[in-house]
Amino acid sequence: MLEIAISVLIIIGAAFTFIGSLGLARLGDFYTRLHGPTKATTLGVGALLIASVIHFSTTGQGVSLHEVLVTIFLFITAPVSAHLLAKTALHLRVGSLAPTPPRAEAAAAAKAQRDD
């Protein structure tokens, strides 16, 4: 039964990691590319680490805490690094492929008229 649970966690982890990596490679702009790996890959690596904890804790080597430390480190650093990357992109005015909201278009047009 444990082998089935470990296998399912490995498959789930690999699938989410693949989806996050595919999102990084295929999505259009910086912000959507940032979204894929930070969400899906974190979940995928978390499932792989849980499978590792179960495997090494049940093989008679005692409770495995190395994976718990890696999980804590991952869940703390991934959101912080994604936030810092997004803030830097906003500061550098990295463009987005998303359509501009109507209010922002109207404000930009009004500013352009005032500047002329």
pLDDT for position 5: 94
pLDDT for position 100: 58
Domain that holds residue 67: 2-115
Residues 38 and 81: their CA atoms lie apart, in Å, by 9
pLDDT for position 14: 94
The angle that helices 42-58 and 66-91 make with each other, rounded to 10 degrees, is: 170
- Those residues of the chain that have pLDDT short of 50 are none
pLDDT for position 104: 63
Domain count, the chain: 1
Query: pLDDT of 78-90, one tens digit each?
Result: 888 888 988 998 8
Cβ neighbourhood burial of 17 (10 Å; 0-12, 13-18, 19+): buried
The single-letter code of the amino acid at 54 is: I
Lookup: tokens for 15: 């699938």
